[in-house]
Structure 1
């Protein structure tokens, strides 16, 4: 178990004056802020508060209609959050600044009713009580443009210039031509603890596809959230933008994000989806699992 005092002592010895915190809102968007090391000292082993408006508005900071948890009717009070010290990353572009994921908690310190990370932990708790260990691996396709956040708005999101023209899925030529960028991006992801096990060009102008390495479900979900925001920041700092929109233009193929799922026995680590004696080696558990997803 990671002790807050040990981390703080380490930061003081390194001359670190602040840390960055991030959490996932109800749309899966990573939000957060910098806090001073003194502030971090006061909350690292306990909880702190953050305005709960972030649990009631959309990606454009517009309030959702007919919400019950928060809104003008509640006056947007602070919601308690807790820093997950096990999620520490060192930000390579910010002089090794510490970064942590946080999660909202209920008033009694338990799981929060609508915080996405709390909801996932609830489901994983159910799986654990049934003797299962879920393992996940996320895979994302995304378009990269030789544009900036300002230029796309000036163009009204039309006539955007892709990183590379035309269709060329799994192109070795493009990965060699852009090898510096490909390798730098993979090193960047590895340094921030969401390593990519596969990266290639997909069909479409400027489309890449990245497969994040498998992990236990909570860690895998954390890595998926971090990957999308950190990837956008990586390209923006280099004069480009990346979008994970499912279909940014009717003129080009859509792009997807999907999750590979495994279910292991907590007792012996065996794959409970597998049964050599059943058709297609699909166990009864796997049939029920797929049925639950389809429902």
Structure 2
């Protein structure tokens, strides 16, 4: 997935010089942004290698209740073992409602397998694979648009 701006580690380091905290987040299977705040130092240290992230985000629903059918990937039996999160430096956004705290999105990878492939249940990874395949096989570049609609009906609807 491309972005208009490609950030290098050095540029991100300069960008964060006045930010003691950074928010990192990934998307769960319900499309909910799940994140945490980490120190600038820890974030910068993880930009090239990644960091551990609890797999429970793939084992609970939108109400933070564990699914009733456990999986071998994320369950009480395996202690909701960590997955590997890799930071997408090109996803940088300031969060205006949090005093412009920097936000970076992550993709999730399987630490149990060689080369840590991306997780099939990670929505960002799946989208990237589909877009890459469409471009490679069809020469198509994916675009998306979002339309938000709101209707407020009062009284009797005919």
Equivalence for 1:60: 63
Aligned residues: 147
Cα-to-partner distance string for 1:58-106 (whole Å, 9 max, x where unaligned):
0111111324221112211110011111111112222222111111123
Deviation at 1:203, TM superposition (A): 4.6
Among 85, 89, 96, the residue aligned to 1:85: 89
Q: Relative to structure 1, is the Cα distance of residues 64 and 9 closer, same or farther in structure 2, using a 3 angstrom cutoff?
A: same
Cα-to-partner distance string for 1:101-136 (whole Å, 9 max, x where unaligned):
111123324321211111111211221221211211
Larger Rg: 1
User: Is the 1:106–1:113 Cα contact (8 Å) retained in structure 2?
Assistant: no
The structure whose residues are more often helix, as a share, is 1
SS at match of 2:49: coil
Equivalence for 2:13: 8
Equivalence for 1:138: 146
* TM-score, normalising length: structure 1: 0.46
- Matched residues in 2 for 1:94 and 1:60: separation? 23
Pairing 1:235-274 to 2, within 5 Å after superposition = none
Among 45, 50, 57, the residue aligned to 1:47: 50
- Matched residues in 2 for 1:59 and 1:84: separation? 24
Pairing 1:102-181 to 2, within 5 Å after superposition = 102-107=106-111, 108-130=115-137, 131-142=139-150
Equivalence for 2:153: 204
Relative contact order (C-alpha < 8 Å, sep 6+): which is higher? 2
Gaps of 5+ in 1: 143-201, 206-250, 254-295
- Matched residues in 2 for 1:109 and 1:16: separation? 30
Equivalence for 1:18: 21
- The Cα RMSD (Å) is 2.1
User: Is the 2:27–2:123 Cα contact (8 Å) retained in structure 1?
Assistant: yes
* TM-score, normalising length: structure 2: 0.83
- Matched residues in 1 for 2:156 and 2:26: separation? 33
SS at match of 1:111: coil
Among 29, 33, 46, the residue aligned to 2:32: 29
User: Is the 2:70–2:76 Cα contact (8 Å) retained in structure 1?
Assistant: no
Cα-to-partner distance string for 1:123-173 (whole Å, 9 max, x where unaligned):
11221221211211111235xxxxxxxxxxxxxxxxxxxxxxxxxxxxxxx
- Matched residues in 1 for 2:25 and 2:148: separation? 21
